[in-house]
């Protein structure tokens, strides 16, 4: 199982899509405040479809990334298995070995990860990118979570999947 962390997500539909993705993949979802919406907003519920009721009670909301690391994913932090994602990272998600129990951290739609967080991940060689055309800027947040998460599943043989 993976832990997915969204830091200060802004668009309710993206978070709703990630809720649905996490429900289908068996991942835990952590949201770091401030959120740009309420989890009960119509756009979140619509994107999450019938999975919204199933998973929204399991979503952990943290005051900030530091609290998430301390209380939400301490095992991954201790093991050094926390990966941040940035369009400006040097290392590709396809060039690292991902495994169950890893934590994948994504910044907000408009700002990405803070510079301090990105530098922390980069210093640990844990800042990753998803390759895209040089002429483009970034991927949609929910799409990035799906690509990175399913790469982790692929590397581990899709355990428990049909």
Say whether pLDDT at 145 is over 90.
yes
Per the CB < 8 A criterion, the answer to whether 56 and 39 are in contact is yes
Say whether pLDDT at 51 is over 70.
no
What is the per-residue pLDDT for 104?
98
Give mean pLDDT, residues 117-136: 94
Q: With residue 31 as reference, give the H or E element that holds it.
A: strand 28-32
Residue 46 binned pLDDT confidence (cut-offs 50, 70, 90): low
Q: Enter the pTM of the model.
A: 0.93
Burial class of residue 38 (count of CB atoms within 10 Å of its CB; 0-12, 13-18, 19+): exposed
Alpha carbon 117 to its chain centroid, in Å, reads: 14
Say whether pLDDT at 44 is over 60.
yes
Residue 149 binned pLDDT confidence (cut-offs 50, 70, 90): very high
Reference 14, options 160, 138, 127, 136; nearest CA is 138
What does the alpha-carbon distance between residue 44 and residue 9 come to, in Å, rounded to a whole number? 12
What is the per-residue pLDDT for 52?
59
Domains of the chain: 3-156 (3.40.1280.10)
Phi, psi of 71 (to 5 degrees): -110, -30
Q: List Cβ neighbours of 157 (8 Å cut-off, separation of 6 or more).
A: none
Residue 161's alpha-carbon distances to 57, 64, 71, in angstroms, are 23, 32, 29
| Total Cβ atoms within 10 A of residue 135 | 5
What's the chain's length in residues?
162
What does the alpha-carbon distance between residue 61 and residue 55 come to, in Å, rounded to a whole number? 13
What does the alpha-carbon distance between residue 2 and residue 82 come to, in Å, rounded to a whole number? 10
């Amino acid at each position: 199982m993976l832990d997915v962390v969204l830091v200060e997500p802004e668009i309710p539909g993206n978070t709703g899509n990630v809720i649905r993705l996490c429900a289908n993949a068996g991942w835990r979802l952590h949201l770091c405040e401030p959120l740009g919406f309420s989890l009960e907003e119509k756009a979140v519920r619509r994107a999450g479809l019938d999975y919204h009721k199933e998973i929204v009670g399991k979503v952990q909301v943290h005051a900030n990334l530091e609290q998430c690391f301390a209380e939400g994913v301490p095992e991954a932090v201790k093991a050094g298995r926390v990966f941040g994602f940035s369009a400006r990272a040097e290392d590709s998600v396809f060039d690292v070995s991902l495994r169950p129990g890893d934590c994948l951290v994504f910044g907000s739609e408009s700002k990405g990860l803070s510079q301090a967080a990105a530098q922390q991940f980069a210093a640990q060689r844990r800042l990753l990118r998803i390759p895209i055309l040089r002429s483009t800027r970034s991927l949609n947040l929910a799409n990035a979570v799906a690509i990175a998460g399913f790469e982790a599943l692929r590397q581990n043989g899709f355990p428990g999947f049909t």
